Amino acid sequence: MKTLILFVSIIFCLNSVILGQNSGNLINGLVFSKAFFISLSSNELKNFVAVDTTFIIESGKVWNVTSTKSFMLKENFTSYENEVNLWINDQIINFYKSPFDCPLWLPEGKYRIRLTSFSENRNFRFIGYISGVEYSIIK
């Protein structure tokens, strides 16, 4: 039985290599393109929004968001995570009472990203980030 499993495994691996479908980067029709890191920060809060910007995922690409963070930083570098929310489009991605459950897959398209807070304290720097991996779609 062990010999049969070993034989099938070797055939599967050789088949993938011979057909060019396993360069070490292929995951179910996706090939690694690059890692990404989007950093967000602002010293201003207008109508409860610190950052409001957009990003575009190119055609033929998909993003795997693996990590997010949002927090406020006081002048003495004390960090407060309990009043800053990170949004992608109209979905809260990082909320202080409900941490982000990675991974999040984003298909090609245009996305709005925002850092919001209900804090009235103006002595904070609002900071957030999104990081992950971009893949090219192989058809």
- Sequence spans of domains, the chain: 27-137
pLDDT tens by residue, 55-105: 999 999 999 999 888 888 877 777 766 678 888 888 888 776 556 667 889
Give the integer Cα–Cα distance in Å for 42 and 117: 12
Residues 6 or more apart whose Cβ sits within 8 Å of residue 79:
71, 72, 73
pLDDT, tens digit (0-9, with 9 covering 90-100), for 10-58: 444 434 443 444 445 556 789 999 999 999 888 877 777 888 889 999 9
Fold of 27-137: Jelly Rolls (2.60.120)
Nearest Cα to 73, choosing from 83, 65, 58, 60? 83
Which residues have C-beta within 8 Å of that of residue 131, sequence separation ≥ 6?
35, 36, 37, 38, 65, 66, 67, 68
**Cα separation of 77 and 85, whole Å?**
19
Instruction: Evaluate whether 116 touches 53 at the Cβ level (below 8 Å).
Output: no
Residue 109 has pLDDT above 80, yes or no: yes
Is it the case that residue 117 has pLDDT exceeding 50? Answer: yes
